[in-house]
Amino acid sequence: MSRNKRQNWQPWISDFRKCYKNGNEKYYITIPGSLFESEAFKDLSGNAVLLLLLCYVQARGKPDFELTQSTYQKRGLAKSTVLRNFDELEKHGFIKCIECNRQRYKANKYHFIEDWKIYPENIK
């Protein structure tokens, strides 16, 4: 089977007008059932879930990623909301800040962690 096989999305899931000319989506993410059903995910606020999905998109399948201010502002998230929700994602065991670049005026670097699997025992 070809690796580049086109995914036929249902019309209520995808907007074909915003796809590439060949009909493929620019990107998509998959949420595993174990993550979706986890206590940590259920306990997240709505903006924290949106931020987590944005982090997955930015990471593009890698464990480390950066999230710039312009990226989350394009999605309609304010800086104070993002900072508060990054704290929530860290508390719930989804991400960890590995390089804080606030004084350097660069994007912080984050790493996905697996502590959400043992939530709420991981709360400090």
- Judged against a pLDDT cut of 60, whether residue 45 lies above it is answered with yes
Q: Classify residue 109: in a domain, yes or no.
A: yes
End-to-end CA separation in angstroms for the chain: 47
Angle of the 79-91 helix axis to the 46-59 helix axis, nearest 10: 90
Cβ atoms < 10 Å from Cβ of 74: 10
Instruction: Compute the CA torsion angle 82, 87, 93, 97 (nearest 10 deg).
Output: 80
The count of structural domains within the chain is: 1
pLDDT digits (tens, 9 = 90+) for 61-73: 899 999 888 898 9
Q: Classify residue 32: in a domain, yes or no.
A: yes
Q: Classify residue 61: in a domain, yes or no.
A: yes
Residue-level pLDDT at 86: 94
Q: Classify residue 20: in a domain, yes or no.
A: no
- Judged against a pLDDT cut of 70, whether residue 6 lies above it is answered with no
Q: Classify residue 124: in a domain, yes or no.
A: no
CATH label of the domain that carries residue 70: 1.10.10.10
Q: Which of 108, 115, 114, 111 is nearest to 64 (CA)?
A: 111
What's the mean per-residue pLDDT of the chain? 85
Cβ atoms < 10 Å from Cβ of 3: 4
Q: Classify residue 80: in a domain, yes or no.
A: yes
Structural domain containing residue 113: 28-118
Residue 33 banded pLDDT, cuts 50, 70, 90: very high
Region 18-43: what's the mean pLDDT?
Answer: 85
Q: Classify residue 14: in a domain, yes or no.
A: no
Q: Classify residue 3: in a domain, yes or no.
A: no
Cβ atoms < 10 Å from Cβ of 31: 12
- Judged against a pLDDT cut of 60, whether residue 111 lies above it is answered with yes
pLDDT digits (tens, 9 = 90+) for 79-102: 999 999 999 999 999 999 998 877
